[in-house]
A and B are shown apart, each in its own frame.
Chain A
Amino acid sequence: MKYIDEFRDGGLARALAKTIAAEVVPGRSYRLMEFCGGHTHAISRYGLQDLLPAEVRLIHGPGCPVCVLPIGRIDSAIDLAVGRGVILCTYADTMRVPASAGMSLFKAKAGGADVRMVYSCDDALALAIEHPDREVVFFAIGFETTTPPTAAVIRRAAALGLKNFSVFCNHVLTPAAMVHIMESEAAPEAVAIDGFIGPAHVSTVIGYGAYEGFAECYDRPVVIAGFEPLDVMQSILMLVRQINEGRAEVENQFTRAVSRAGNLKAQQLVAEVFELRSSFDWRGLGEVEFSALKIRPGFAVFDAETRYGIAYRKVPDHKACECAAILRGHKRPADCKVFGTVCTPDHPIGACMVSSEGACAAHYTYGRFRVEQN
């Protein structure tokens, strides 16, 4: 497959690994946080950590929108399906996330609720057109990559004058999450992260310019990395070089799909349909300011929250859950007392185990047989 296979070449990987190993200063620590479920997946699926020297440690940040979705929001989605009898359309990723009272969307479906897995929000719109007598709600999740399609579908619903379609909006923002990680300590210097691997497709939409303020303010290098394993490795090399040279710049490795400004058309559409929430409760991170979007009043008829009067009830995480520390890179999955025992992919307790992109789930599935380095 063109533009995919070339960036998975094992020979080039070995060469890059050698270069990284040669440029890493022995004994120096390079703690690199990635913010993208796709990167977490690539690192695990291709066994990238095996190809890196011990000095380079990859940390999984809160880049998985399913993991950071609070339990209370899933409860609301389940309530729409079970209590209000809507056709609830969702991406498959959310189906197995455990909510309150041992429920999940999967179990709600098993109990007779009309929950349907869709590949695209367009499929939800099509269902609304096909069933004018039924209420259809699309459960929207995701970072900035997934938000423009939701905006497009709301605009289309408005143009069609649909009366039975709405969106339960849980879109969140990447830079806000990154800032929150840096603000988690008294001073940025105390944060145990040396560099950031910037998300691939989020950046296609928002542009790499969106990170320049962050890099300068917190004095950390950011390299926007493409989606394939060679992209990630090349980006790691670029970060190692920046760290060695004491630079804190935004560099773009994913030049074939990311520009400085990003996709302006998509950004404009998002601004037309959505506005910032003053605060949003992130699972594992707590309340984060200006980190999420809600539907503008002009499109209120398509906003499931106003249409159904959804009230958010916060559900705290398990006391033993270490997700907050893991998401900040302070602790590793193996450091959590309940990892692999009470908390497994089959019975996830916290955010990091919930989706296969979460740090704990990825480690459990792919990495737990390894002996941990440093």
Chain B
Amino acid sequence: MSYSRPLDMKNGRVDLTHGSGGRAMAQLIHDVFLRHFDNPWLAAQNDGACLPFPAGGRLVMATDSHVVSPLFFPGGDIGCLSVHGTLNDVAMNGARPLYLAASFILEEGFPLADLARIVESMARAAKAAGVPIVTGDTKVVEEGKGDGVFITTTGVGVVADGIDVSGDRARPGDCILLSGHLGDHGVAIMSLREGLSFETTIESDSAALHTLVAAMTDAVPTLRCLRDPTRGGLAAVLNEFASQSGVGMLIRERDIPVREPVLAACELLGLDPLYVANEGKLVAICPPEDAARLLAAMRAHPLGQDAAIIGEVVEDDHGFVQMETAFGGRRMVDWINGEQLPRIC
């Protein structure tokens, strides 16, 4: 199909015709999405993708919407974030991701150059992960009704028989493991926020964790729980597990890795690193006899090099998550209602 004029990728902007289902939209899809996402299913240009599926195991499906602002930040952008985020959600069931879908809601006036940059980033992330984006959708909304771009990604994968990872499986005595340093993503985003801006070398840790998870389930098939501490941070995940499993948790502050600039940024803003978002880390719970083996498997993987055992699951009817502070006392790690805000006092 030839088009009367090429898209002006340098200075052009999205307009309402790009979402109307006509030739303009076809051109946008062809020149931007098909070009970068490049795989036979997408190239077939049907409404859906017809995909081979392995025999055995159970289907896992996950979906995630991405509304991050700013769109581009140190260490990543909304594009790779949307790919990593859904790959990780699938992986957190102990599953191997197979295919991704991506739908875009574009705001009228959104620069095509930015769109291309985001899509290229998504394509790179998907390729590196070995998971193609096989189908998608595009809509355009009027100016003022979107935040530039919203991306929703959905992923499907397969979890092998014998692997049973679920948030309600934590038992007293189990060990709690963390795959690496907390708070990098949240701090990277915050450093660009209006009215805060500070200079830091901290970059977002956005990463696809499915190969780390595969190494973990291979080493320890008895893995009980997995979750990635995104919004709400480590505190949210531990409180969720405690609630789902009807247990308590006791973690040790001195065992939790946090980079110094993240600690410093949190000091400056009055934030607690336990509540700051991560996009390339995971929390795992396993039986105590398997903890050493699980830790070794994590540390052997590039994304788990700084993994640590940070605490234990305990009996507790209240479902409290408590922490032994480095100072020697104990404190609660509460389940807060909304987002943690900076404070002055």
Contacts and interface: CB of A to CB of B under 8 A. Distances in A.
B142 interface: no
Interface in A330-370: 345-346, 355-357, 364-369
A1 B334 CA distance: 26
Contact of B332 (A93, A116, A366): A366
B327 interface: yes
A91 B327 contact: no
Interface residues of B, number: 30
Interface in B66-121: none
A117 B195 contact: yes
A50 B323 CA distance: 13
Contact of A366 (B254, B264, B318, B334): B334
B345 A123 contact: no
Interface in B295-345: 318, 320, 322, 325-332, 334, 336-338, 341-345
Given A46-B325, A369-B322, A92 B341 contact: yes
Contacts of A357: 345
Most-contacted residue by chain A among B267, B328, B332, B345 (CB, 10 A): B345
Interface residues of A, number: 45
B263 interface: yes
B343 A47 contact: no
Contacts, number: 93
Nearest to B260: A1
Given A10-B326, A118-B195, A119-B196, A44 B331 contact: yes
Nearest to B272: A45
A47 B327 contact: yes
A96 B260 CA distance: 30
Contacts of B9: none
B330 A50 contact: yes
Q: Is the interface of B mostly helix, strand, loop or mixed?
A: loop
Contact of A38 (B195, B338, B345): B345
Nearest to B327: A46
A5 to B, nearest CB: 9
B195 A10 contact: no
A156 interface: no
A70 interface: no
Interface of A: 1, 4, 8, 10, 13-14, 17, 37-38, 44-51, 64-66, 91-93, 95-96, 116-120, 123, 142, 146, 229, 345-346, 355-357, 364-369
4 shortest interchain CB distances as A-B pairs: A47-B329, A50-B329, A92-B341, A37-B345
Interface of B: 194-196, 254, 260, 263-264, 267, 269, 272, 318, 320, 322, 325-332, 334, 336-338, 341-345
